[in-house]
Amino acid sequence: MPDIIQLLPDHVANQIAAGEVVQRPASVVKELLENSIDSGATKINLVVKDAGKTLIQVTDNGCGMSTTDARLSFERHATSKIKSAEDLFNLHTKGFRGEALASIAAIAHVELKTRTEQAEVGTRISIEGSSVVSQDPEVVPVGTTISVKNLFYNIPARRNFLKSNPVETRHIIDEFHRVALAHPQVSFHMTHNGSTVFNLPESNIRQRIVNIFGSKANEKLVPVSEETEIVKVSGFALKPQFARKSRGEQFFFVNDRFIKSPYLHHAVNSAFEGLIKDGMHPGYFLFLEVEPTSIDINIHPTKTEIKFDDEHAIYAMLRATVKHSLGQFSVAPVLDFDKDSSFDTPYEYSKKSPVAPTIEVDQDFNPFKSGGGKGAGGYTKFKDKSANWESLYVGLKDEFRTMPSGVDATEIEFESEEVSGRLFDTNETEKGQFSFQLQNKYILSPIKSGLMVIHQHLAHQRILYEEFLQNITVKEAVSQQLLFPLELEFSKPDMDVLSKVREALENTGFQFDIFSEEKLTIAGTPVALKHGDIGELLEQLIADIKNEVPDASFSMNDLLAKSMARGMAVRTGTVLNIEEREHLVNRLFACKEPSVSPDNTPVVVTLDVNDLDKRFK
């Protein structure tokens, strides 16, 4: 039997490694930014074109590389971060695998320009598909510039699996946020397709958060700080009133490295227990500092998961720290309830001694004395009517004579009790009205073949979805004007999302007076939208668009209609009267697809009489 096992060529091995390291353009951005941080850079510039598919360029003013190091950096398992296996458990840097540049060079056209401070001339290297095309000396500034062009050019199947440009851009911005938040002492600049997306100067953590997420973020932050022998916790948590339905602003950093940890997330959630509603998620920017020897970060290819030596202690410490901060800054309720300031002694009377009040009393006043007019004390005197009490009972004996014999007057009930022997609380069996509400969730309606059960929330979603979709297409939506325009502030990325669907929002009934980079003023809303739900609806809309932004404009309108229908549909637990139920049922069956919701969930379930009969056999 011939031998069938053979060694893979280097370029194939690099492409396989690239499948783990480079999943999308955002992976390249992460690796290059972290390399710039490790080089000691204080200024980093990121340039992206076509969501990273055409170009990703990172320029820094770090230490740079010599000619030999520049050439060797593209070899597999070549790194300056570790020298032995023990170094894996004492890491103070980001990249340490030595596969990032080799993997990137295997699936793209890469150009590297670098120079150290001691060298007079730098180095320029061009690589295509792991093959070095050229290596020449060149006059370049101190630092490193890496340009990654035509990503996945030699793996067309992988390139076809990439999402749309808006989705890939969002992933790049997410990675940019994670690196920029962890290193506020470094200035970052990012441009996409020639327009500036972020320009972040050197600052502290709080100012970096404000620069990224908008000026309104400053009032949301609650400082968190605690230092123990096990862990040092710092950062900020968002106030409970700013909790959102989507998992948006949630960042964990361990030794300035972004991580994802459901276990630690649960610790923060438990600290907010009782302060936020069910289904809402708190926001936080938490930085943990531990001994590098007490963690293992080499358990996942993307290095976003970390294993702690003592997870239970970290959990308890994090939960207690966040809970203490919420109480310390009067965010969480305390046992001593806030006193009413109206009961406080006014300042001008605080130093005066109390004086007993003086009261004048008429000692001769007697309200039972006969006679009219006013008495000596100035009070009105009333007549003595006690002699005429018999007149109240005149004719009562005659009434008792007319009662049937054998009836005791003491057993007569003059107030009838309410009849409670009905199946439903209200009179819902009036002519032509046969719908009932079950558990404030389902609408029951008898039909010829049995019983029809309608999910009221999903049914209203279908009604609103078709209505919004028609309004967006026809552009004839009705808007209700607000008495006082509503001002809302969002981060710049969120405002970019809203700007892309502004015209569609206006077609559904929204009217905007101001639409700037971080603020919008709403003068009108769709008719069915309540004033208090506007901000929550727009936040949910932003989250939906970020999670699944399609390419076609019609699909974008479809997504917008779905999101608004979910946000404005009548909730489970809402009591509907007879008219509201009948109106909901009639509008549902006037829809094109009344049987399913916009997300293809069943809306109507029919119970046949024969099925019900079988239950009683």
Q: Rounded mean pLDDT of 185-197?
A: 91
Going by the DSSP 8-state scheme, the letter that residue 74 receives in this structure is T
Q: What is the mean pLDDT of the chain?
A: 79
Say if residue 137 is in the same domain as residue 271: no
What is the distance between the terminal CA atoms of the chain, rounded to a whole angstrom? 70
Q: What is the pLDDT of residues 32-45, one digit of tens each?
A: 998 899 888 999 99
- Calpha distance 355→120 (Å, rounded): 91
Task: Specify whether 489 is located in the same domain as 591.
Answer: yes
More confident residue, 353 or 272: 272
Residue 279 belongs to some domain of the structure: yes
Claim to verify: residue 187 and residue 257 sit in the same structural domain:
no
> Would the pLDDT of 5 be above 80?
no
Q: How many Cβ atoms from other residues are within 10 Å of residue 597's Cβ?
A: 21
* Residue 570 banded pLDDT, cuts 50, 70, 90: confident
Q: Which residue, 499, 503, 534, is CA-closest to 517?
A: 499
pLDDT (mean) for 192-213? 90
Q: Token pair 């209203």 is at which residue?
A: 460
What's the rounded Cα separation, in Å, for the pair 99 and 70? 14
Helices 311-328 & 262-271 angle (0-180, nearest 10): 30
Q: Which residue has the tokens 């480079």?
A: 22
Q: Looking at the domain assignment, is residue 418 inside a domain?
A: no
3-state secondary structure of 174: helix
**Which of 328, 349, 383 corresponds to the end of one domain?**
328
In a domain, 336, yes or no: no
Do 555 and 500 fall within a single domain?
yes
127 and 237 together in one domain: no
Lowest mean pLDDT among 138-147, 251-260, 356-365: 356-365
CA distances from 358 to 352, 355, 361, 365, 425 (A): 18, 9, 10, 19, 58
Phi and psi at residue 206, to the nearest 5°: -65, -45
What phi and psi, each to the nearest 5 degrees, are found at residue 552?
-70, 145
In this prediction, residue 88 carries a pLDDT of 52
Distance of alpha carbon 588 from alpha carbon 136, whole angstroms: 71
Given a cut of 90, whether residue 126 has pLDDT beyond it is: yes
Q: Do 29 and 172 fall within a single domain?
A: yes
**Alpha-carbon distance values, 525 to 496, 561, 566, 596 (Å):** 20, 14, 16, 27
Domain with residue 451: its CATH number is 3.30.1370.100
Could you give the number of structural domains in the chain?
Answer: 3
Predicted confidence at residue 428, as pLDDT, reads 45
Question: 3-class SS at 347?
Answer: helix
User: Of the given ranges (241-245, 434-438, 532-536), which has the lowest mean pLDDT?
Assistant: 532-536
Give me 32's structure tokens: 């290059």
Which H helix or E strand runs over 18?
A: helix 10-21
Q: How far apart are CA 528 and CA 477, in angstroms?
A: 12
- On whether residue 247 sits in a domain, the answer given is yes
Q: DSSP characters for 186-250?
A: SEEEEEETTEEEEEE-S--HHHHHHHHH-GGGGGGEEEEEEE-SS-EEEEEEE-GGG-BSS--SE
What DSSP state is assigned to residue 388?
G
The answer to whether residues 189 and 269 belong to one domain is: no
In a domain, 357, yes or no: no
Query: Where do runs of H (alpha helix) occur along 382-427?
Result: 396-401
Same domain, 96 and 184: yes
Say yes or no: 185 and 218 in one domain.
Answer: no
pLDDT, one tens digit per residue, over 373-405 is: 554 444 554 555 555 666 666 666 665 555 555
Q: Quick check: is 551 in a domain? A: yes
Residue 215 contacts residue 205 (beta carbons within 8 Å): no
Contact 26, 52 (CB under 8 A): yes
pLDDT tens digit sequence for 499-516: 888 888 888 888 888 787
pLDDT reported for residue 1: 61
Confidence of residue 423 (pLDDT cuts 50, 70, 90): very low
Task: Clarify whether residues 148 and 222 are in a common domain.
Answer: no
Report how far residue 319's alpha carbon sits from residue 322's, in angstroms, rounded to the nearest whole number.
5
- Domain edge (last residue) among 328, 352, 377: 328
Q: How far apart are CA 215 and CA 207, in angstroms?
A: 9
* CA 244 to chain CA mean position, Å: 4
Range of the domain at 85: 10-200
Residue 521 CA, chain-centre distance (Å), reads 21
CATH number at residue 323: 3.30.230.10
**Tokens in use for 396?**
């009562």
pLDDT at 551 over 50: no
Using alpha carbons only, give the angle 227, 262, 51 rounded to the nearest 5 degrees. Answer: 105
Confidence (pLDDT) at 352:
73
The CATH number of whichever domain residue 177 belongs to comes to 3.30.565.10
- The answer to whether residues 222 and 170 belong to one domain is no
Last residue of a domain, one of 277, 308, 328: 328
Q: Name the pLDDT band for 411 (thresholds 50, 70, 90).
A: low
Co-location of 594 and 496 in the same domain: yes
Residues forming a β-bridge with 286: 235, 252
d(Cα 136, Cα 121) in Å, to the nearest integer?
Answer: 10
Which residue in the block uniquely carries the two structure tokens 């031998």? 3
